[in-house]
Amino acid sequence: MSRMPRFHFAFAVDDLSAARDFYGRLLGCAEGRSDAHWVDFDFHGHQIVAHLAPRREGADVPAAEIANPVDGDEVPVPHFGLILGWEAWHELAARLKAGGIRFVIEPHIRFKGKPGEQATMFFRDPSGNALEFKAFQDEAQIFAK
């Protein structure tokens, strides 16, 4: 049986302990291999790796502060995340709210009544990396134009 490829994504964090708490405890990602400078996480079957990269004084505006307008919201660029099932998305939104997460873009429905209608939310990890989680009631709308 053929399976979908898994993605691997490595990203910078400035505190591995905070990354472990955020990705492990709050998002429920099992921890894989690690060392003093990086940690692997199981991101719903995909491998993401938090690499320790302390912030430098006097650096230019980080890419994490760039945003583009999408359906009335300022979407952070770059960002990564997952497309969850409808119920799983709502469960995660409730868990994040209960956990005190400050949303960049609050959980809501984007493109309501249009092609690509989706539930979406954006928030940042403790190092400022932007994440988007979304869900479609009709998965045929994922690539709708």
8 A C-beta contact, residue 20 and residue 31: yes
| pLDDT string in tens for the chain (145-residue length) | 567 788 999 999 999 999 999 999 999 999 999 989 999 999 999 999 999 987 666 555 555 567 778 888 988 878 999 999 999 999 999 999 999 999 999 999 999 999 999 999 999 999 999 999 999 999 999 988 8
Which of residues 55, 77, 95 is at a domain's end? Answer: 55
The verdict on residue 44 lying in a domain is yes
CB proximity list for 33: less than 8 A, separation 6 or greater: 40
The verdict on residue 114 lying in a domain is yes
At which residue do the structure tokens 């995660």 appear? 92
Residues of the domain holding 110: 66-145
The verdict on residue 60 lying in a domain is no
- 46-52 sheet: strands from edge to edge: 8-13, 46-52, 38-43, 30-35
On whether both 71 and 27 belong to a single domain, the answer is: no
Per the structure, how many domains does the chain have? 2
On whether both 47 and 116 belong to a single domain, the answer is: no
On whether both 51 and 70 belong to a single domain, the answer is: no
pTM of the model: 0.84
